[in-house]
A and B are shown apart, each in its own frame.
Chain A
Amino acid sequence: MESAENQTPEPELVAGFSSIRERTIAENSLVILLQGLQGQVTTVDLRDESTARGHVVNVDAFMNIRLKKVLHRDRRGRLTQLEDLFVTGRNVRYVHIPDHMDIMETIQGQLAKSHRVRNFAGGRKEYAKKKS
């Protein structure tokens, strides 16, 4: 996965979001569920047994998560307040999904959005697209 992350970034076709490649990767994996969490407050358990709780700004296809207004609790339990936190995808162990969110509905909603953008992008570049 790390090698994929280090590859040259591909040109943005969509205003404000990812390339087709990233979108396909996201669509075919459960990352799309995490992308549906954007804007919610969740807890991310990291690989090193620390946790970070905050607003999910965005999640990319490689599960890199950007959080803001974060309370980071490290392995020993020490708390740190952070304005911005970026977590590499590989370092994620768990992501707690808020109770009020329905998993299937979130996935389907995200897929529908992406589908709409894709059908649209098939030649009508004059329209501005948004995915998130």
Chain B
Amino acid sequence: MRILLEDEDGSIASPCASVVDSNMEERERDTGDVNPSSTSSDCKATAPTSSSSAPSVPEHGADSTRAASGDLGDKLDVCSDNFDPLLALYSPTVPLPFPNIKCFNNVSEYESFLRGGRGRAKPENVEKRQRKAMKGVADPERIERLKKLMVRNPVPEAEGESSSSTPRRRKQKPPKNVLTRMPLCKGGPLGELHRCVEERIRVKVHIRTFKGLRGVCSGFIVAFDKFWNMAMVDVDETYRELLLGEALYHEKALTVSRLFEKLKIQESPEGDEQAKKHKAKGKASCPQSADPSPVSKEGSSKRGDNRTESRLSGDSVRGEQEKQGASLKARGPETGGRKHSQAYGKVHTRHVNQLFIRGENVILINPQPL
């Protein structure tokens, strides 16, 4: 169109060209001008592209005199009766009644949308899109709902509400605590200990002092852990208190015997207890002296045999003796006995109903054979 106009620039009168030029804009402008529109009809022939719009132009030209701006708005209003689609198509500013409306390129697209194709505004999709948009935002309602689902919730709810009804979350593993770990040690020494717990076997626990044996705790184990910490009931503790000076003195002289003592403890754990008993009875089977060390070894094996048989009697004898004297002095009339008793320190016994022992102090545990 422009090219044509340029050709005509020289020959045709300028107003005509200008009118054709502004043919497009004529619709928007308040066409109060009659002259340009009338002259435009002359230029119709020279402007074939505008032929389609040409017949309407004079009509509009005629109407334009009557047309006010409001009327134009009415023509552009989609919902009005005077809607002029052609006008609307060429107008850059057409007010849409629903600005956020979905646009389609053709009717068939609209049809497929209506039928429920992809992207159809179903109620679920709309909600989904909304939820996505609100993703990061904290929803107090949601927090409230989650709080209500809490398994054990002492603050808003009453304590002691059963948690068994609440469904187990997938991440909830079986709890691992000291009680569940007790039966886990099967197959090892702690498994044996667990057996003592289950079968309520009376055990003797050897307690250590900074060096050597302190005493023996006899009782039933209720609970234990991997450190050999133990909770025991009905405990009879027999222990002796070593005087520090004496121990130091004997330490130098009795290195070898100490080894034997340890061996003896390994072989027959009651060696020391028996030693005290035998000492009191006059036998010089004191493990601290070097001489009877081979004897004590023999004796220990013998004692080991006798242990099971005469344990009860031995215990009762010892118990009686100790209850009477509460100290070795009472049962040390022999000179040898007295010397050893002073070297050992006093032996005490006591009964504690419930005792907790720190595992660090345990030398060994000897389950009492049935």
Contacts and interface: CB of A to CB of B under 8 A. Distances in A.
A124 B233 CA distance: 41
Given A27-B178, A108-B179, A98 B225 contact: no
Interface residues of A, number: 34
B222 A119 contact: no
A47 B155 contact: no
Given A93-B207, A116-B152, A28 B178 contact: yes
A104 B10 CA distance: 114
A127 B223 contact: no
A34 interface: yes
B224 A119 contact: no
Contact of A99 (B175, B176, B354): B354
A101 B223 CA distance: 14
Contact of B352 (A34, A63, A96, A101): A96
Contacts of A99: 353-354
A18 B348 CA distance: 39
A33 B361 contact: no
Contact of A107 (B178, B209, B355): B178
A30 B225 contact: yes
Contact of A94 (B150, B155, B357): B357
Contact of B231 (A93, A103, A120, A124): A103
Interface residues of B, number: 36
Interface in B312-328: none
Given A93-B207, A103-B223, A119-B151, A33 B179 contact: no
B360 A30 contact: no
A127 B355 CA distance: 37
Nearest to A108: B179
Nearest to A128: B155
Interface in A77-109: 89-90, 92-99, 101, 103-104, 107-108
B229 interface: yes
A33 B232 CA distance: 12
A29 B224 CA distance: 8
Contact of A98 (B181, B209, B354, B357): B354
Interface string B327-370: 00000000000000000000000001111111011000000000
Nearest to A27: B177
B230 interface: yes
Contacts of B120: none
B356 A28 contact: no
Given A94-B355, A99-B353, A119-B152, A31 B207 contact: no
A93 B357 contact: yes
Contact of A30 (B151, B207, B353, B356): B356
A63 B358 contact: yes
B227 interface: yes
Interface string A111-122: 100011001100
20 contacts: A28-B178, A29-B227, A31-B229, A49-B209, A63-B358, A89-B358, A90-B360, A94-B357, A94-B358, A95-B356, A95-B358, A97-B353, A97-B354, A97-B356, A98-B354, A99-B354, A111-B177, A115-B152, A119-B152, A127-B155
Given A28-B225, A30-B230, 20 more contacts: A28-B177, A30-B178, A30-B223, A30-B224, A33-B231, A49-B209, A93-B358, A93-B361, A95-B356, A96-B352, A96-B356, A97-B353, A99-B354, A103-B231, A111-B178, A115-B175, A119-B150, A119-B151, A120-B152, A120-B154
